[in-house]
Amino acid sequence: MEYTEVKVVIMAAGEGTRMKSSLPKVLHRAAGKTLVEWVADAAHAVTEKPILVYGNGGDAILQKFGDAFEYAYQAQRLGTGHAVMAAKDKFLKSNYTVVMAGDMPLIRPETLKRLVDEAISTDCDCMLLTASPENTPAYGRIIRDKDGHICRIVEERDATQEQKRIKELNVSFYCFKTTALLYALEQLRPENAQHEYYLTDCIQVLYAARKDVRSIKIDNMQECMGVNTRVQLAEAEAALRARINEKLMLCGVSMIDPANTYIEADVEIGQDTLVYPGVVIEGKTKIGSGCTIFQGSRINNSIIGDGTTVENSVLLYAKIGNYTKVGPNAYLRPGTNIGDHCRIGDFVEIKNAIIGDGTKVSHLTYVGDAKLGEDINIGCGVVFVNFDGKEKKITTVEDGAFIGCNTNLISPVNVGKGAYIAAGTTVTKDVPPDALAIGRAKELIKTGWAKGRYKIHRE
């Protein structure tokens, strides 16, 4: 079904005081996206660009999302009906208007699509999403007349004890014919405990005008969970992570303990990759097939080829080739680009460096601002000295070179193809291909010196 005639209003102007935060509530993140981005993802099932109603913190919202939304500003927070009134000019010309909250990140796109499909196919004036759970939370109650027609919604705070025993709940997702919504908004009055314009009062207005109000039920109340506190934010995050992990596992990814595996929404992982507990994978990371990601690793916005192993390491905006081994305890910083069949070992830090196929940087080494060719061996304790106090400079090491332990390469310097650097050397000049560079102080041995020193200290 085509949805070009549908507009979606996302209410996101609430203060969010219970979050105890200076950040607007809808900008809090869960599983890699802000709350309102999750809501917008669902909205995209029926509309191209949702309308976001914002209030305080508007600058942060506009800066964050740019042209991802149409925007409406709610200067005063006078209720949900007032929020929709603020967006009226944005949906005037649509056939249908969906209204939803910006702090309900668990709603699924297919659920919203079903709501709109039912509204259009039945030609009703308003289609509600409702639920009837065994244990009823503090949601508005659906009130029906003797013939079973929906005649109004009573908010929890305004409900009588008898009304609170009603099981059918309003879960705050609506699809209106736009003409019906505009008519109902004109009739709203703030005659309630909060002196606010309730969107829910539109239902009573439509019923009184003999309009057709219907509902469909949702089976899983979790989709309609709102986030008002940090506790609820954590609950939503756990539910979203469970969905992400389930989807990945159904596509062929293995996880030893999904409940303790933290993968964000935009991550892609290939078949037959094994992910251990305690792993955090963030941003737009892409991991190939047949990889192993051991516990304690954090991978952020990085690309990893097929068959690669990462153990207890941090990768930030890095690119790793196929069948490479990283870690344990490696730190790959932005600008790192490592080839195939490489070895990046324990306590190695790499930053803004290109490393060719087959090169090994095994342990206790810093490689910064460098270009390394293929099949190079970098020994233990090597430092690429890339900063002279004013600017970063580049060191180049060509194919097949051997850099001995405890070498300092003072950039800018070039080590030629097949050259050897003896252990303990500080390199300050270019080394020609196939040459040997030695830069050590001459060893001096004083026989019996230690014994005499011991005698002095004893006396």
Q: pLDDT confidence of 156, banded at 50, 70, 90? A: confident
The pLDDT value given to residue 4:
54
Residue 454 confidence class, pLDDT cut points 50, 70, 90: low
Q: How far is CA 242 from CA 106, 327, 429, in A?
A: 11, 28, 55
Query: What is the structure's pLDDT at 401?
Result: 98
- Name residues whose C-beta falls within 8 Å of residue 444's C-beta, 6 or more positions apart in sequence: none
Examine the pLDDT at 456 and tell me if it is beyond 70.
no
pLDDT of residue 455: 63
Q: Cα–Cα distance between 207 and 213 in angstroms, integer?
A: 7
By three-state DSSP, how is residue 221 classified? helix
Fold entry, domain 6-224: Spore Coat Polysaccharide Biosynthesis Protein SpsA; Chain A (3.90.550)
Give the start-to-end residue ranges of the domains of the chain. 6-224, 247-437
- The angle at the Cα of 271, spanning 269 to 272, to the nearest 5 degrees, equals 110
| d(C-alpha 52, C-alpha 58), whole Å | 11
CB 308 within 8 A of CB 293: no
pLDDT of residue 225: 92
CA distance 423 to 444: 17
Superfamily of domain 247-437: Hexapeptide repeat proteins (2.160.10.10)
pLDDT, one tens digit per residue, over 390-431 is 999 999 999 999 999 999 999 999 999 999 999 999 999 999
For position 448, what pLDDT does the model report? 83
Q: What letter would DSSP give residue 312?
A: S
How sure is the predictor about 459, in pLDDT bands with cuts at 50, 70 and 90? low
Residues 6+ apart with CB under 8 A from 410: 385, 426, 427, 428
Q: Model confidence at 457, in pLDDT bands (50, 70, 90)?
A: low
Please determine, for residue 374, whether its predicted confidence score (pLDDT) is greater than 70. yes
* Nearest C-alpha neighbor of 431 from the set 413, 412, 406, 411: 413
pLDDT at 443: 81
Tell me the mean pLDDT in the region 119-130.
Answer: 96
Residue 333 has, within 13 A of its CA and on its CB side, a CA count of 12
H-helix or E-strand containing 59? helix 58-65
Instruction: Give mean pLDDT, residues 113-139.
Output: 93
Residues 292-315: tens digit of each pLDDT = 999 999 999 999 999 999 999 999
How much is the pLDDT for 1?
53
Catalytic, 149? Answer no
- For residue 447, give every residue at least 6 positions away whose Cβ sits within 8 Å of its Cβ, in sequence order, or none: none
Which amino acid appears at position 47 of this protein?
T
Does residue 223 come out as left (phi exceeding 0), alpha (psi in the -120 to 50 range) or beta?
alpha
Over residues 205-223, the mean pLDDT reads 94
Torsion of CA 315, 321, 322, 327, to 10 degrees: -30
φ, ψ of residue 165 in degrees (nearest 5) = -80, -10
CB 204 within 8 A of CB 188: no
Name the pLDDT band for 243 (thresholds 50, 70, 90).
very high
Please report, as a single letter, which amino acid is at residue 417. K
With a CB cutoff of 8 Å and minimum separation 6, the contacts of 57 are 23, 24, 27
pLDDT value of position 338: 98
Q: How confident is the model at residue 190 (pLDDT cuts 50, 70, 90)?
A: confident
Residue 444 has pLDDT above 70, yes or no: yes
Whether residue 42 contacts residue 9, with contact meaning beta carbons closer than 8 Å, is answered with no
Q: Which residues, at least 6 apart from 266, have a Cβ–Cβ distance to it below 8 Å?
A: 32, 33, 283, 284, 285
Report the percentage of the chain scoring pLDDT > 90: 83
Among 82, 149, 363, 457, the active-site one is 363
Kindly state the average pLDDT of the residues 5-28.
90
